[in-house]
Structure 1
Amino acid sequence: MTATSVTAISVDHLAKTFGKVVAVDDLSFDVPHGAVTAFLGPNGAGKTTTLRMILGLVKPTAGGTTIRGRPYSELDRPLERVGAVLESTAFHPGLSAVAHLESVRMAAGLASARIDHVLEQVDLQEAAHRRVGGFSLGMRQRLALATALLGSPEVLILDEPANGLDPAGMRWLRGFLRAYAHQGNAVLISSHVLSEIQQIADRVVIVSAGKLRWSGPLHDGAVLEELYLEATG
């Protein structure tokens, strides 16, 4: 997989404080198209807050973020530009997978054919008409990813997407994300599971206490573990 020089996401001197708590501290990094970029750090490092600022869900205290050169709030038809999974349990339990996707599709003005397509992409066809309330956590993760894929976006932002997946599901996710990036799309994935990241990521951004500790290409798993321990220790 070869990353292109086109910047999909730019984080520029980003900062966020909540009262006296500094969640993100002068953070800068870029995410290119054509690559899987892993966003690593211990719990409380500021990863989720950063992702929420990229998506316009949290207002920065300083700095800013852009997607293809524009803030998320200024994107035309944003679901066709960016797909995100930050929470895999935010579904109405009484709706079927199809009904959930249909509500999102209609709100975004997307083609109806996209529903069958994304269900096939995440291998949920057989559960399409089951109520989401009966889904396992892994199935909810797949439905969340299907929702993010509805607009066929060129950028995917995923927060701990492997949570709840069994080993087969993790292998499937690994292959899917690598293929998606290989098509020229950008994938930014937040995780703390180094064993998975070393098999999927092309680039790594490591943060701790809201600060950038290391950013660059990933060459092999041993180097990643050493970098992570040094950066976060």
Structure 2
Amino acid sequence: MGAASSDYLLKVHNLTKIENGKKILDQATFEIAENKIVGFLGPNGAGKTTTFRILSELTGYDDGEIYVNGVKLSDLDRKEIMLLPDAPLLFSVLTGKEYLKFMSELLNFDIDSPEIKEMLQLLGLLNSLNKQIFNYSLGMKKKLNLIPLLMKKPKLLLLDEYLSGIDPVSMKDIKNILIQYAQNGCSIFMSTHQLEVCERYCDSIILISNGKILKNNISISEIKETASSLEEYYLNVFSTEEG
């Protein structure tokens, strides 16, 4: 499988994870191409977070193969895949600037680079850097949390329900910078229950239920040929699955 894996940024084959005798992931197989934003959709408990935890090497798996640009996950540089969870991982007593300085020392990026200043400008955070993080809105916290990962430029950025609970202004800022990020040789794999957001900003989707992949990399344009919206398509697939 190794040679064929280079056709995609990420190639997952027969990924299986068993916990307490139950298959959390059951031979999950899917691919993600370069320069794409891919939605990972399914009901709660379908296996999305477990998949992300495996891809970011926070947990192991029982069977299957995972390649990134043809390289086995176990041989991959850890910075090539990075995960951002739903809840912002921040130190609320720090100011925004102090947090970024701490993360720059931890992840080894230049806090004074023009790139980070541009990012702060695009995300509307420049004027808030001297405020303590506990004064930030949820949207501001999530934007601040995103910056260190973008500075490290992982080939695959995993967003686990990251867009939930964000105000419309922050949502627009974040979506614009993520689209720009995916146009520069990287891809984004994101789980979300916000189907309208996914329909507007994702190139394709992967559907999962009970640990099994139901639809692998179905393009949004293809979905719109058979359904009026992603929501209609999603509901049709899962009503058939439940039936």
Q: Normalized against structure 2, the TM-score is what?
A: 0.84
One-letter amino acid of the structure 2 residue matched with residue 65 of structure 1: I
The equivalent residue for 1:124 is 125
Assess if the C-alpha contact under 8 Å between 2:84 and 2:159 holds in 1: yes
Query: 1:86 — aligned with what?
Result: 85
The gaps in structure 1 that reach 5 residues or longer are none
Deviating beyond 6 angstroms after TM superposition, the runs of 4 or more aligned structure 1 residues are none
Report the CA distance shift for 1:86/1:72 in structure 2 as closer, same or farther (over 3 A): farther
Q: Is the Cα contact below 8 Å between 1:16 and 1:22 reproduced in 2? A: yes
Number of positions where the alignment pairs a residue of Structure 1 with one of Structure 2? 227
Match of 2:50 in 1: 49
Question: What does residue 71 of structure 2 align with?
Answer: 70
Q: Give yes or no for the alignment of 1:7 onto 2:8.
A: yes
Higher share in helix: 2
Structure 1 counterpart of 2:107? 108
- Residue equivalent to 2:3: none
Shift of 1:202: 0.7
Q: In structure 2, do the counterparts of structure 1 residues 60 and 199 end up closer, same or farther at CA, with 3 Å as the change threshold?
A: same
Unaligned runs of 5+ in 2: 1-5
Match of 1:222 in 2: 228
- SS of 1:150's equivalent in the other structure is helix
Match in the other structure for 1:144? 145
**Distance between the aligned counterparts of 1:72 and 1:116, measured in 2?**
33
Distance between the aligned counterparts of 2:84 and 2:50, measured in 1?
Answer: 13
Q: For 2:176, what is the secondary structure of its paired residue?
A: helix
**SS of the residue 2:208 aligns to:** strand
Q: Which amino acid aligns with 2:8?
A: T
Deviation of 1:119 (Å): 2.6
Identity of aligned residues (%): 27
| CA–CA separation in structure 2 for the residues paired with 1:143 and 1:69 | 32
CA RMSD of the aligned region, Å? 2.2
Could you tell me the TM-score, scaled by structure 1's length?
A: 0.87
Q: How do 1:11-22 and structure 2 match up within 5 A?
A: 11-22=12-23
Label 1:60 to 1:163 Cα distance change in 2 as closer, same or farther (>3 A).
same
Tell me if structure 2 keeps the 8 A contact 1:65–1:71: yes
CA positional deviation for 1:206? 0.5
Question: Using the alignment, how far apart are the partners of 1:96 and 1:74 within structure 2?
Answer: 37
- Assess if the C-alpha contact under 8 Å between 1:156 and 1:187 holds in 2: yes
